[in-house]
A and B are shown apart, each in its own frame.
Chain A
Amino acid sequence: MLSRFQIRLPSRKLFSRHTFYRVQRTYATQTPELYDVVCVGGGPAGLSLVTALRALSATSKLKIALVEGQDLCRNRLENVPNTEYSNRCSSLTPASLHFLKEIGAWNYINASRIQPYHSMEVWDGVSDSRISFDWASVGMPAAKTPGEDSNIIAYMTENTNLTTALLKRLEEVGGISIMDNTRVSNIELGQDTDTLDLRSWPILTLSNGRSIAARLLIGSDGAQSPVRNFAGIESRGWDYNRHGLVATLRLAAPSSSINPQTQLRTAYQRFLPTGPIALLPLPGPYATLVWSTLPSHATHLKSLSPPDFLASVNAAFRLSPVDIAYLHSIPSGQTSELAWRLQHTRVDAARVPPEVEGVQEGSVASFPLRMRHAATYVGERVALVGDAAHTVHPLAGQGLNQGQGDVAALVGVIERAVREGADIGAGMALEAYDAERWAQNNMLMGVVDKLHKLYSVESGPVVGLRSLGLSAVDKMGWLKGFLMQSAAGVR
């Protein structure tokens, strides 16, 4: 038996090449506080997870802690006028919506700031072949949520709206130790004491000095995930050498994307060789922009004056790739260049988004795009959800929805384990979660990645082939419907 003054060797590899904290190999002198579930990361995935565990009766008796480095109150959506919208928005699928309703969070969403949309126009920037997505044309139903309009494809939601709703629901159910403004300084495995064998339990040392032990440690702590590093799980993928440029824009009135009788809204995405540009509707005359493009272009766009920036956006939906490339190369004057070139460009106004005429101050920002997938989602007493498990290109609007799908699956697995008397952190209990989600996510990310690569080609036979393919899918209702159902999470 080791004396208390000897150093114990760690029984598993504790860090990979990317260490984010110093690993301390000290003998724990006091028993840490034991929790059944410790969830690190208070984003949409982490908040959904702890809310769901408290909302379901079988799991509601578990002792749960949520650890978040930022101040959870700071990002709350409070008293923002409906003329301003955050630039971080997500397209919630019907499956995600259904889950949020099940856990009772949707009641707290600010519905006036959500924009459902009913169709999507996607077209090739080089060849102009296009596909239109809407439920009516494929004759298939969307998710059967009672009381919901079954024509809706997805719901554009500000991320803060979602997290605020989850926080409010969490406050309503209570019973969780919420430790925000608290970072995790260290994670290591516990010790074998006289009373308990904690050698398989992760022990977290927090920045507030507390030490907590987790029966099940859940990493919802983002793409860099210290929890994933602790578990020694590799994350594989590549960078796209692209940035996602976002902004909140105001559309010119009258808006052709809004049919005054039916209030149907449309989302638009055009695939340019440098990356897709998408305009997604928000309530009223507003829309959110997600433009995946080269880092140099993103920097250039951020440097433009608002009128030139808006002209660049309008150009990206209307002009040829050659013209667009030229506009990226000049330091200013995009407004006049666009006006001149539009005289010579045939544009079908019904098939492009309305012109954008205003940009919300301070909303233009960009972030690098990458694809990453964890080698596995589970380890002994560890599980990963959301961005900690996978990062995907935003072109299909799936990232946040995949995270919600992960949470729904993991909560189901935990609930089954509790009802069967299993140790919820045991590998045997958790392997069902990995089986349920890993392959599915892998396939989706693979498809999104190939779409990105397919549409990066500017010329040659690939352009013709993909255009043929797109037009063909547009005409095959059953195939298009299948794709829509997969994207909606209902298949």
Chain B
Amino acid sequence: MQSTKSLWLLRDCRTFPKIVRHFQTTKPHRDPHTSIDPSEVTHFNALASTWWDPHGPSRLLHLMNPLRHDFIGSCRAAPSRNQERGLRYLDIGCGGGIFAESAARLATTAHVTAIDPSSEVLDIAKYHSRRDPILMEPGRLSYQNVSIEGLKIPDKDEERYDVVTLFEVIEHVTNPSAFLDQVLPHVHPGGWLILSTIARTWTSWLTTKFIAEDVIRLVPKGTHEWEKFINEPEMRAWFTRRNGWTDIRSMGVVYIPGLGWKEVP
């Protein structure tokens, strides 16, 4: 069945110079039926307690969150038949809930489902959401400790989501292609898939691996694996080959210390 879906793509861009590689699986994995890499889950479990520390390793994620909303807002500026009712969000790999909480607070939101395979991080997310009575309203925000495979594939359109978000996740999965194949069915016709990831360039190696992990130790070693980063043309090409996905947009951003996240024109 042909259905028109819009894909929006948000990426982190380190501009000079770029290395173009073919889109491929980079690592063998144990279980071909799951996207989860256990080493990644263990790693994020260890980061759980610092997730909501505004001056901790997750500070850059907190600072990036407003940009995510700006990007989604610019997408939604185009008229859509979903405007009569509230929006339904699915946040995959929600972590401590930085985006999930912020989406749940918006007046235009009906419901947010947020999933993550790490139980410890999800506990932190649930614990943190108890601070805000809006988030505790029944049906507003629900966390589930599952991977994308654990979510039932919807039969009816009503079960699909208007906005499916995948922020800083795809660079942590072992087989991105198969993973995205499992994500796509959850998007409502006319809805959006929005994801963000880090580009694979010398600059991103320098900033996210060398400086952030080795030199200033902003994040623990092993937080990112450079080989798993994906470049925008690769992502765009993948979606172009898929039926029913149109209107691919992307935005590049870079973090400048002292100034924050800035869009790269």
Q: Which residues of A contact B107 (CB under 8 A)?
A: 61
A196 to B105 alpha-carbon distance, docked (Å): 16
Is A420 in contact with B54, judged by CB distance below 8 angstroms? no
Does A260 lie at the interface of the complex (its beta carbon under 8 Å from any beta carbon of B)? no
A197 to B106 alpha-carbon distance, docked (Å): 21
Instruction: Report the minimum CB–CB distance from B193 to chain A (whole Å).
Output: 19
Does A428 lie at the interface of the complex (its beta carbon under 8 Å from any beta carbon of B)? yes
C-beta contact mask, A418-430 vs B, less than 8 Å → 1, else 0? Answer: 0111110011100
Smallest Cβ-Cβ distance to B100: which chain A residue: A421
Does A30 lie at the interface of the complex (its beta carbon under 8 Å from any beta carbon of B)? no
Is A200 in contact with B103, judged by CB distance below 8 angstroms? no
**Cβ 8 A contact of B103, one of A215, A421, A423, A428:** A421
Known: A195-B136, A197-B130, A428-B54. A420 touches B102 (CB 8 A): yes
Is A421 in contact with B136, judged by CB distance below 8 angstroms? no
Known: A421-B101, A421-B106. A416 touches B130 (CB 8 A): no
Interface range for A: 20 to 34
Does B3 lie at the interface of the complex (its beta carbon under 8 Å from any beta carbon of A)? no
C-beta contact mask, A142-178 vs B, less than 8 Å → 1, else 0? Answer: 0000000000000000000000000000000000000
Q: Looking at the complex, which of B40-48, B62-70, B215-223 is the stretch in contact with chain A? A: B62-70
Does A34 lie at the interface of the complex (its beta carbon under 8 Å from any beta carbon of B)? yes
C-beta contact mask, A23-37 vs B, less than 8 Å → 1, else 0? Answer: 000000000001000
A215 to B134 alpha-carbon distance, docked (Å): 11
What secondary structure prevails in chain B residues at the interface with A?
helix
Q: Which residues of A contact B79 (CB under 8 A)?
A: none
C-beta contact mask, A194-219 vs B, less than 8 Å → 1, else 0? Answer: 01111111000000000000010000
Is A196 in contact with B133, judged by CB distance below 8 angstroms? yes
A307 to B219 alpha-carbon distance, docked (Å): 75
Does B33 lie at the interface of the complex (its beta carbon under 8 Å from any beta carbon of A)? no
A200 to B129 alpha-carbon distance, docked (Å): 12
A454 to B78 alpha-carbon distance, docked (Å): 60
Known: A416-B66, A428-B62. A422 touches B133 (CB 8 A): no
Is B133 in contact with A421, judged by CB distance below 8 angstroms? no
Known: A34-B133, A195-B136, A196-B133. A421 touches B102 (CB 8 A): yes
Instruction: Report the minimum CB–CB distance from B52 to chain A (whole Å).
Output: 9
Is A423 in contact with B105, judged by CB distance below 8 angstroms? yes
Q: Which residues of B contact A419 (CB under 8 A)?
A: 69
Is B62 in contact with A423, judged by CB distance below 8 angstroms? no
Q: Which residues of A contact B62 (CB under 8 A)?
A: 428
Q: Which residues of A contact B54 (CB under 8 A)?
A: 426-428, 431
Does B132 lie at the interface of the complex (its beta carbon under 8 Å from any beta carbon of A)? yes
Q: Which residues of B contact A61 (CB under 8 A)?
A: 107
Q: Which residues of B contact A421 (CB under 8 A)?
A: 69, 101-106
A416 to B133 alpha-carbon distance, docked (Å): 20
A201 to B132 alpha-carbon distance, docked (Å): 10
Is A197 in contact with B69, judged by CB distance below 8 angstroms? no
Known: A420-B69, A428-B54, A428-B62. A196 touches B130 (CB 8 A): yes
Instruction: Report the minimum CB–CB distance from B210 to chain A (whole Å).
Output: 27
Q: Which residues of B contact A428 (CB under 8 A)?
A: 54, 62
Instruction: Report the minimum CB–CB distance from A57 to chain B (whole Å).
Output: 11
Smallest Cβ-Cβ distance to B129: which chain A residue: A197
Q: Which residues of A contact B131 (CB under 8 A)?
A: 196-201, 423
- Tell me which of A201, A419, A421 has the highest count of chain B C-beta atoms within 10 A of its own C-beta: A421
Is A422 in contact with B105, judged by CB distance below 8 angstroms? yes
Is A196 in contact with B69, judged by CB distance below 8 angstroms? no
C-beta contact mask, B71-82 vs A, less than 8 Å → 1, else 0? Answer: 000000000000
Q: Which residues of A contact B103 (CB under 8 A)?
A: 421
Instruction: Report the minimum CB–CB distance from B74 to chain A (whole Å).
Output: 13
Smallest Cβ-Cβ distance to A380: which chain B residue: B54
Instruction: Report the minimum CB–CB distance from B256 to chain A (whole Å).
Output: 16
**Cβ 8 A contact of B66, one of A196, A199, A420:** A420
Which 4 A-B pairs rank lowest in CB-CB distance, beginning with the nearest? A421-B102, A197-B130, A421-B105, A420-B66
Known contacts A420-B102, A423-B132, A426-B54, then 14 further A-B pairs from the complex at CB < 8 Å, ordered by chain A residue: A34-B133, A61-B107, A195-B130, A195-B136, A196-B133, A196-B136, A197-B131, A215-B132, A420-B66, A422-B66, A422-B102, A423-B105, A423-B131, A431-B54
Interface set of A (CB-CB < 8 Å, partner B): 34, 61, 192, 195-201, 215, 416, 419-423, 426-428, 431
Interface set of B (CB-CB < 8 Å, partner A): 54, 62, 65-66, 69, 101-107, 127, 130-133, 136
11 of the cross-chain contacts (CB-CB < 8 Å) are A195-B130, A196-B130, A196-B136, A200-B131, A421-B69, A421-B105, A422-B102, A423-B101, A423-B105, A426-B54, A431-B54
